Amino acid sequence: MARDTSVWSDDVWVVDSTPVECSRSRETVRRSDMAGWAEYGYCESHSRFFWGLRLHLVATLHGLPIGYVLTRAKADERQVLLDLLHDDPALAASRPGQILLADKNYYGRDFEASIAGAGIRLPRRARKGEPERPGGRFFKPLRQSVESIFDTLKGQLDLEQHGGHTPRGVLVRVQQRLLASAMLEMHAIQPSESPRGVATHDFRPDSESR
C-alpha cells in the first residue's frame, strides 16, 4: 500500500526508536505473559526507565512507514537498523544515495562504514566531544519531524495504550497503528482517497489476540 504513494520514493528518510511500554506495576511484570520478551529499558527523551519493548521505525519525512522492527527494550539501535536493511536488501539497493537522517546514537566507525556500504548516506547530530558534522544546523527542525511521527503514533493512534498482554497481542496492535499511520499519510497526500474510519477507530479490541 505504501509503495503506491508518491512519497515512497522520497530520497530522505528518518530513523529512530520509541518505547512500547507493557507495564508499570511490579506485580503485573511478575505475572505478565510478556516475560522473556519484555525487559527494562531507558527512555532518554523522558528520562525514565520502562518495562516493555522498543519500536524501531524508518519513515519518510511525511511520516509514511518504510520499515519497522519490534525488539526488546535494550536492543542496540544500530544493529537493529543493519538487520532491517539486511533482511530487506531491496530497500537500499533500489535507492543508491538514499539519505537516512539519524540521531546521535547511530554512530561508530564500523556501523557507519556498513551503512555507507549499503549505499546510504547517514547524516546525524554530533555527539559530545565530536566536531560539528556537515548539515548539523538542519537537525533541529528535522528532529521536530521525527517527534511528530511518534507523537501521531502515541497520541492520535494511542500506541502507549496499546492494551496488548501477550507477544502476539502487542505485535498485532503495533502493526495496526503502523497501518493506520500509513493510511493517514496516504490520505494527507491523496485526500480524494480517504480511508474511512481511521481517525475515529478504537484500536483497543475487547479480547486479546493470541
pTM assigned to the model:
0.80
Asked whether residue 187 is domain-assigned, the answer is no
In a domain, 192, yes or no: no
Q: What is the pLDDT along the chain (210 residues), one digit of tens a residue?
A: 556 565 667 888 889 999 999 888 888 788 888 888 999 999 887 788 999 999 999 988 888 888 999 999 999 999 999 999 999 988 888 888 899 988 888 999 999 999 999 999 988 888 888 887 776 666 767 777 777 887 877 776 677 778 888 889 999 999 988 888 888 777 665 554 444 444 434 434 444 444
pLDDT at 189: 59
Q: In total, how many domains does the chain have? A: 1
Domain that holds residue 42: 2-136
Cell of 83: 538487520
Q: What beta strand segments (E) does the chain contain?
A: 12-23, 39-43, 48-60, 65-72, 98-101, 120-121
Predicted confidence at residue 112, as pLDDT, reads 94
- Quote the pLDDT of residue 58: 93
Q: What is the pLDDT of residue 136?
A: 67
Cell readout for 117 is 556500504
* Contact present, 62 and 71 (Cβ < 8 Å): no
Q: What is the CATH number of the domain that holds 69?
A: 3.30.420
**Grid cell of 89 as nine digits:** 536488501
Return the pLDDT at 196: 40
Question: Is residue 206 situated within a structural domain?
Answer: no
pLDDT score of 60: 87
